[in-house]
Amino acid sequence: MDLPALIKAGHLAKSFDGSVIEETKLQQFLDLLRSAPSSFNLQPWHFVVAATQASRERVANSMRGGFEANQSKVRSASHVIVFCSRMSLPQSHLDAVREEERVSGRFPGISIDQFWQNILLPSVAVHEYDARDTAKWLEKQTYLALGVALMGAAALGIDVAAMEGFHSRLLDADLGLRSQGYTSIVLLAIGRRTAEDHVTERPKPRLPVDQLFTFLE
Ligand SMILES: Cc1cc2nc3c(=O)[nH]c(=O)nc-3n(C[C@H](O)[C@H](O)[C@H](O)COP(=O)(O)O)c2cc1C
């Protein structure tokens, strides 16, 4: 596997052939997703995995009213992952993260409680009370998990299609996400692309280097 070459030549899938990803590979992929980094390791996400035709159809339903073009990808994928993000950080979530860090001994030699009290919780409060952007901040973390998923899938030879084209209001209601403090942010269909969906033959229209990068002397 040559990941840089894959990223350079690869494209997100436009159509899937309906085949099912083997279980061990799926588990490897989900394990990578679980390992994604986040600010303060807050992991403010939840991933709903639609593995059956019926559950993928529920996702496809959220594309009615403007995003029908995405439905075929969802219907022909092996699995669709709904990336959900927390809208706020309830005490129960903070406690769960802190407990994991305590058990795993995340910071050898320093007190977890001191770190949380002096650094983490004040930063959370800045987002909550000063910037008042907690939901946006957490959403950014969830997009990082999407980035890890895109890289991880490429490394494992899984084809993917990321989709923002769906109505989160519809999907949240169907999956009961909002009552749990989550909202759906972005979808990732995974599977095997169709033979017609050539990986390398499509152009990659990217902005020129001098427009994208500034090199300081
Ligand atoms: C966060 C995100 C959301 C996207 N949403 C959609 C979508 O709803 N429907 C779609 O057909 N493509 C979607 N795409 C695919 C992009 O349009 C595509 O990746 C981009 O045009 C670059 O093309 P390439 O993948 O061939 O390099 C999305 C991509 C990303 C990263």
Answer yes or no: is 163 within a domain: yes
The rounded distance, in Å, linking the Cα atoms of 139 and 134 is 8
The model's pTM is 0.95
User: Which tokens belong to 61?
Assistant: 């339903």
Answer yes or no: is 83 within a domain: yes
Answer yes or no: is 32 within a domain: yes
CATH at residue 53: 3.40.109.10
For the chain, strand residue ranges (E) read 45-50, 79-86, 159-163, 182-191
The rounded distance, in Å, linking the Cα atoms of 59 and 81 is 9
Q: How far is the CA of 145 from the centre of ligand 1 (A)?
A: 16
Q: What is the mean pLDDT of residues 118-135?
A: 97
Counting atoms of ligand 1 from 1, which one is nearest the CA of 14?
11
The per-residue pLDDT of the chain, averaged, comes to: 94
Q: Please indicate whether residue 25 is annotated as part of the active site.
A: no
Closest CA to ligand 1's atom 10: 163
Per-residue pLDDT for 197 more than 80?
A: yes
Q: List, in order, residues 6 or more apart from 99 with CB less than 8 Å away.
A: none
Q: What is the pLDDT of residue 34?
A: 97
Answer yes or no: is 212 within a domain: no
For 21-108, strand residue ranges (E) read 45-50, 79-86
Three-state secondary structure call for residue 125: helix
- Please state the domain count of the chain: 1
Answer yes or no: is 115 within a domain: no
Catalytic one of 14, 25, 101, 128: 14
Q: What residues flank ligand 1, with Cβ below 6 Å?
A: 11-12, 70, 162-165, 186, 202, 204
Radius of gyration of the chain (CA): 19
The rounded distance, in Å, linking the Cα atoms of 179 and 171 is 13
Residues 137-150 have pLDDT tens digits of 999 999 999 999 99
Residues 53-67 have pLDDT tens digits of 999 999 999 999 999
Q: What is the pLDDT of residue 4?
A: 85
Per-residue pLDDT for 107 more than 80?
A: no
Per-residue pLDDT for 8 more than 90?
A: no
Answer yes or no: is 102 within a domain: no
Closest CA to ligand 1's atom 12: 163
At residue 200 the predicted structure's pLDDT band, cuts being 50, 70 and 90, is low
Answer yes or no: is 149 within a domain: yes
Answer yes or no: is 44 within a domain: yes
Counting atoms of ligand 1 from 1, which one is nearest the CA of 70?
9
- Mutate-to-test residue for ligand 1 from 6, 12, 140, 184, highest number of ligand atoms within 8 A of CB: 12
Domain that holds residue 147: 3-93+140-200
CA angle 147, 49, 59 (to 5 degrees): 95
Q: Please indicate whether residue 14 is annotated as part of the active site.
A: yes
Query: Burial of 47 by CB count in 10 Å (0-12 exposed, 13-18 middle, 19+ buried)?
Result: middle
Percent of the chain with pLDDT over 70: 99
